[in-house]
Amino acid sequence: MPELPEVETIRRTLAPHLEGRTITGTEVMTPASLRGLSPEEFRSQVIGRAIEGVHRRGKYLLFNLGERLFMVVHLRMTGRLVLDGPADRHTRVSFRLDSGTSLQYVDVRRLGGIYLLKMVVRGEEVSLPSGRPRPGRAVPEGLLNLGPEPLSPSFSLDYLREGCHSRRVRIKALLLDQSFVAGIGNIYADEALFRARIRPDRRACDLQVTEVEALFEAVRAVLREAIEKRGTTFSDYVDGRGRAGGFREELAVYGRYGEACRRCGGELARAKVGGRTSTYCPRCQV
């Protein structure tokens, strides 16, 4: 599943080709990939609109279509957005732009989806209006209650300290909780905990002040480095041009169970924490 660095990489690939361009046509091959609206309604709402900006919030891509209307794409497991790609039998929705560029939403397992939502823009931040969404309009549940962006000032050391202090959940589960912090999944939670030398099954409230500080730095550093390397590819993730991410070679623990720890040489272990498999070093992480 793409996490923050992968979705951010897709956003950066797409933005220069889409921003300022007008949608001149769209074809819906799989109506079920549109959430809460019919293909007819979708076409009538998006055709003729210009894409004013391509944003990201957590693991969601947000296309600003003007007048506060946003097309929200949630890629989930196998969703991809492909610029000028060849026809694909798993294409669910395709778009044509006035520049001649095409954009395909491809989704093998059809777990992802496209939504049209009215949203609020405050500077760089895009969010759903507070209060209940309009009845009858599907809204991705995760977007309703999304925590701060980990690379923004709203995710501060104080915020993390306060969040850990008041919660008895395992620290790994807290990092994965999208309502606490947006965009972190299994890969980057494991990597950040390794860097901070914290076992994934420690209780958040038991972390020492210095450990919370180390974790704060580790979360931000690992996400920044992963964005720089254009994300991590294990199976499905590619950017908007079909290119794999380069962070896989940099992974210290994720996907390396049974291999040697890069820091101490010991064997990496794994455990289920909060229902997710976690890989960690039993010597380096305490």
**According to the binding rule CB under 5 A, does residue 203 interact with Zn ion?**
no
Sign, Cα dihedral of 188, 190, 191, 192? positive
**According to the binding rule CB under 5 A, does residue 281 interact with Zn ion?**
yes
CB of 266 to Zn ion, least distance (A): 5
DSSP 268: P
- Cα–Cα distance measured from residue 286 to residue 280, given in angstroms and rounded to the nearest whole number: 10
**According to the binding rule CB under 5 A, does residue 286 interact with Zn ion?**
no
Kindly name the residue from 56, 59, 170, 172 that is annotated as catalytic.
Answer: 59
**According to the binding rule CB under 5 A, does residue 197 interact with Zn ion?**
no
Residue identified by tokens 């046509």 is 25
Site string for Zn ion, 204-243 (x = CB under 5 A): ----------------------------------------
| 3 belongs to the catalytic site | yes
- Cα–Cα distance measured from residue 117 to residue 114, given in angstroms and rounded to the nearest whole number: 10
| 59 belongs to the catalytic site | yes
**According to the binding rule CB under 5 A, does residue 143 interact with Zn ion?**
no
Our CA angle for 134, 137, 143, nearest 5°, is 85
CB of 269 to Zn ion, least distance (A): 10
Residue identified by tokens 């991705």 is 140
CB of 265 to Zn ion, least distance (A): 7
In this complex, which beta carbon is closest to Zn ion, that of residue 157 or of residue 264?
Answer: 264
**According to the binding rule CB under 5 A, does residue 283 interact with Zn ion?**
yes
| 263 belongs to the catalytic site | no
Q: Locate 189 and state its tokens.
A: 């939670």
Residues 244-263 within binding reach of Zn ion (CB under 5 A): 261, 263
Q: At what angle do helices 157-165 and 209-228 cross, to 10 degrees?
A: 130
| 2 belongs to the catalytic site | yes
Kindly name the residue from 76, 203, 248, 276 that is annotated as catalytic.
Answer: 276
Q: Are 92 and 44 in contact (CB under 8 A)?
A: no
**60-64 sheet: strands from edge to edge:** 53-57, 60-64, 69-74, 113-118
CB of 176 to Zn ion, least distance (A): 22
Task: Give Rg (Cα) of the chain.
Answer: 20
**According to the binding rule CB under 5 A, does residue 264 interact with Zn ion?**
yes
**Could you give the residue numbers annotated as active site?**
2-3, 59, 276
Note the residues at the interface with Zn ion (CB under 5 A).
Answer: 261, 263-264, 266, 281, 283-284
